[in-house]
Amino acid sequence: MIWPFKPRFQKQIARIEITGAIGSATRKRVLDALKTVEEKRFPALLLRIDSPGGTVGDSQEIYSALKRLREKVKIVASFGNISASGGVYIGMGAENVMANPGTITGSIGVILRGNNLERLLEKIGVSFKVVKSGPYKDILAFDRELTEPEQHILQELIDTSYQQ
């Protein structure tokens, strides 16, 4: 939220809070709030971040919007209890970042997790028949191990996302 929305007679600072996992709902809310900060010509923005991270694309969009807004508005990020991964990424869009000594601050990283339930499914007698249009359409299927080519594809995907 941006506070305050009251008519301003003096210069005031906008505040946006980013809490919890970062996803499409967070991105939409924050981008709308940043647009309001720009339209209402706030001189500065305090960005309060208390997030373990989230999706790469949503974090990138918020970061990019902050970098653009930074040309017009002074932006300071403040990390709360936790700021990791996408939370740190977004914070880098600010001119300055502050954190408490007790703030848990993690690295920017990318993770992709899949489960292999193959042995469990065998024990209970469940099997699957798969018909697919390409060799990698079921790349994270939970009923089998990843093949070496699949492992390579996913590692490249993670590495590319991380390099961005």
Cα torsion angle, 71, 110, 105, 13, sign? positive
Q: How many domains does the chain have?
A: 2
Domain with 85 in it: what CATH number?
3.90.226.10
Tokens of 112: 């992709």
Once rounded to an integer, what is the mean pLDDT over residues 78-97?
96
85 catalytic? Reply is yes
Same domain, 32 and 82: yes
Whole-angstrom distance, CA of residue 25 vs CA of residue 146:
32
Out of 24, 74, 137, 161, the active site residue is: 137
Model pLDDT, residue 61: 98
> Does residue 50 register a pLDDT over 70?
yes
Same domain, 76 and 140: no
Out of 85, 127, 129, 161, the active site residue is: 85
Same domain, 89 and 125: no
Whole-angstrom distance, CA of residue 42 vs CA of residue 18:
18
pLDDT in tens, 128-163: 888 888 888 888 888 888 899 998 988 988 888 887
pTM of the model: 0.75
Let me know if residue 157 belongs to a domain. yes
Whole-angstrom distance, CA of residue 123 vs CA of residue 36:
57
11 catalytic? Reply is no
> Residue 149 sits in which domain range?
118-163
Model pLDDT, residue 17: 97
